[in-house]
Amino acid sequence: DVKVTQSSRYLVKRTGEKVFLECVQDMDHENMFWYRQDPGLGLRLIYFSYDVKMKEKGDIPEGYSVSREKKERFSLILESASTNQTSMYLCASSLSRWGSPNTEAFFGQGTRLTVV
């Protein structure tokens, strides 16, 4: 079974803090994603990585950065947390298969971040 593990289920941080959300997958997937989920807005892509050290911005990258130093690990960094970054953060991974633009995405359990 594919497993995508996020480091924390719940997190409370103060405004201005630097926050790290960690995600690890154990299936050797090339693609990894960070999404943010808010009521009525669905899943919005923050960043996407298709290989080690490779990243692409999603729809809402402002205020976030990412790091992918190893294939299995994808970190989301909030440089200076703000209250409008209070949300559910979901990490996902998928296989990159030649000839198939998308394959099934596997999600972690999510991190509920509250910035106070």
Partner 1 sequence: GQQVMQIPQYQHVQEGEDFTTYCNSSTTLSNIQWYKQRPGGHPVFLIQLVKSGEVKKQKRLTFQFGEAKKNSSLHITATQTTDVGTYFCAGPYAGGTSYGKLTFGQGTILTVHP
Please report, as ranges, the residues that interact with partner 1 according to CB under 8 A.
30-31, 33, 35, 40-45, 48, 50, 56, 58-59, 90, 92, 94, 96, 100-110
User: What DSSP element (H or E) covers 23?
Assistant: strand 19-25
Closest by CA to 68, choosing from 79, 55, 57, is 55
Nearer to partner 1, 83 or 100 (CB): 100
Smallest distance from partner 1 to CB 23, Å: 12
Mapping DSSP to helix (H, G, I), strand (E, B) and coil, where does residue 84 land?
helix
Tokens (6 digits) for 26: 């154990």
For residues 14 and 68, what is the distance between their CA atoms, to the nearest angstrom?
25
State in angstroms the smallest separation of the CB of 94 from partner 1: 6
CB of 101 to partner 1, least distance (A): 5
Distance CA 25, CA 91 (A): 9
| Min CB(56)–partner 1 separation in Å | 5
Residue with Cβ nearer partner 1 (3 or 70): 3
Which of 63/110 has CB closer to partner 1? 110
